[in-house]
Structure 1
Amino acid sequence: MAVRRDGRGRTRWGLVAALLAVPALLVLVPFAWFVWAFATSDFPLGGGKEDVSCEEALHFGGAQLPAGAYDTDCETQSWMDTYYGGTFRMPRAGVRDWLATLSPQGPQPGATGCDHGADLCLNLDAADSVLPPGAAAAAVTVNVTYENATTARVRWSAFTM
């Protein structure tokens, strides 16, 4: 009895392997990227901190850098929410006037509810409708520490929720 060798009835393993490899690659490549991203990054899904100008950081919260400000250091971070924050120094004599521009109709700066070590603070949020005009943030927090008789260190944060 002769065996037919015309190809009918035989499995074409090369074609089967190719068809099975495509779905496997569609699953394995994203999985490998996911594992690599989490193993090599502090922010695998994005949202790492970036340095920005303090003018940009304060503008997000509806404020301007006060006259005489120096030693500025600001950053932003965003992923699901957006955060701007930073520090700067300014003349101590101008602190209350600058804070008054942030909340002309809202709460006055005080010493209650401040971060540890702060001498003066102001906490504003959209829920109380007291954010500065033009603010893109949902909340603004300012903590002031008097370093000496002439200098104040300001810690600023503005963020969405």
Structure 2
Amino acid sequence: MLILVIVSGLVTFAACSVVNVASRLRGDMSTDVSCKEAVEFAMAELPDRASHAKCESHGVMDRSYRGTWLMPQADVETWVTRYFPDREPPSATGMPSACAGDLCVTVHRDPMAETTKGAYDIGLDIRFTPDGTAHVSYSSTDY
């Protein structure tokens, strides 16, 4: 019985290793994570009424997170103001931007500052829909 348990454990370990190596060979270094973890990396909290949240982590030594979720449009400004008071001012109308949303939030934090923990660069691309829903795309990195 003990030999069966050991062999079973070795087979499981080998299968996980093969999957892990295969994903690295493809260049897929992403790992599904909770959006709570992803947003906490930016020193924030996931909005209380967020739904359909899906997030992933990238990198081994340096970290980055990406994610999407839905939230009520009415909650967006309060949430952004609370957690990202250090956001950059919006781009001038007509200026090129990587953000295609109705609200674009960009934060660059000084990696050498004592108050910076986690992400140095944070981006939110938020699109509003007529039904009052906000579609949030989130990214953050520490490099």
**Same fold, TM exceeding 0.5?**
yes
Q: Does 1:141 align with 2:140?
A: no
| Distance 1:135-1:85 versus aligned 2 partners, 3 A rule | farther
Is 1:55 aligned to 2:36, yes or no? Answer: yes
Give the direction of change, closer, same or farther, for the CA distance of 1:48–1:107 in structure 2 (3 Å limit): closer
Deviation string 1:58-77 (CA, Å, 9 cap, x unpaired) is: 00111101121101000001
Deviation at 1:44, TM superposition (A): 3.5
- The one of 64, 71, 95 equivalent to 1:83 is 64
Q: For residue 157 of structure 1, give the secondary structure of its aligned residue in structure 2.
A: strand
Residue 110 of structure 2 contacts residue 116 of structure 2 at CA under 8 Å; is this kept in 1? no
3-state SS, counterpart of residue 55 of structure 1: helix
Deviation at 1:141, TM superposition (A): 0.7
Determine if contact 1:61/1:136 at 8 Å carries over to the other structure.
Answer: yes
Extract unaligned runs of 5+ from structure 2.
1-17
Distance 1:79 1:47, change over 3 A: farther
1:146–1:48 Cα change, 3 Å = same
TM-score, structure 2 as length reference: 0.70
Tell me the residue number matched to 1:66.
47
Root-mean-square deviation over aligned CA pairs: 3.0
Q: Give the letter for the 1:156 counterpart.
A: Y
TM-score calculated relative to the size of structure 1:
0.63
CA contact (8 A) 2:107 2:122 kept: yes
3-state SS in 1 of match to 2:44:
coil
Report the counterpart of residue 120 of structure 1 in structure 2.
103
- Match of 2:49, SS state, is coil
Number of equivalent positions = 120
Displacement after TM superposition at 1:138 (Å): 1.3
Among candidates 30, 41, 49, match of residue 22 of structure 2: 41
Would you identify which runs of 4 or more consecutive aligned residues in structure 1 move more than 6 Å?
none
Identity score, percent: 28
Q: Deviations over 1:23-72 (max 9, x none)?
A: xxxxxxxxxxxxxx9xx735239871111100000001111011211010
Take 2:104 and 2:47, find their aligned partners in 1: how far apart are those partners?
16
Change (3 A) 1:134 1:64: farther
Q: What SS is found at the alignment partner of 2:48? A: coil
Select the residue among 123, 128, 134 that pairs with 1:152.
134
